[in-house]
Amino acid sequence: MAGLRRMGAYLRTLQSFEVQTNTTIDVVMEDDGQKVQFDGTGLYRVRRPNAFFIEQRTDRRHRQYIYDGTTFTVYSPRMHYYAQEAAAGTIIQTINLAEERYKVFLPLTDLFYWGTPEDESESITSAQRIGFARIGD
């Protein structure tokens, strides 16, 4: 937990940063209970205090989330559809607006919360160290 708080504190010192992710998600299918894995990638380009570009690509979905300080946009490149909403304020305020009003849940929003009063770390009841893993090179 201390390491996550330090990571959050460090990210808050940066005016801009970029994070690239590779993900695997387990989904339990509603109709027959089978577990299916979907791979994906993510890209986060953040400029504090009020701009980001987040791209999420999975086997099933491709979305781009753009916040420029005044407008929040969700774009689906595959379908050529987008939606926009006025959103002034900070990155966290925009994330909260997307979740609360539109039920749009951006991936890895913990990056913006760790080490703040909103990080919900109190709800974590257990953790364990699994060991080292090589990711990429």
Tokens 């979907």 correspond to 38
Global pTM? 0.82
pLDDT tens string 2-51: 888 888 889 889 999 999 998 888 889 999 999 999 899 999 999 998 99
pLDDT reported for residue 65: 96
pLDDT reported for residue 119: 81
H helices present in the chain, as ranges:
2-13, 91-102, 110-113
pLDDT, average across residues 93-105 = 91
Encoded tokens for 93: 């305020």
Counting residues of the chain whose pLDDT is more than 90, the rounded percentage is 53
- CA geometry: angle at 133 spanning 131 and 137, to 5°? 155
Region of residue 107 (left: phi > 0; alpha: psi -120 to 50; beta: else) = beta
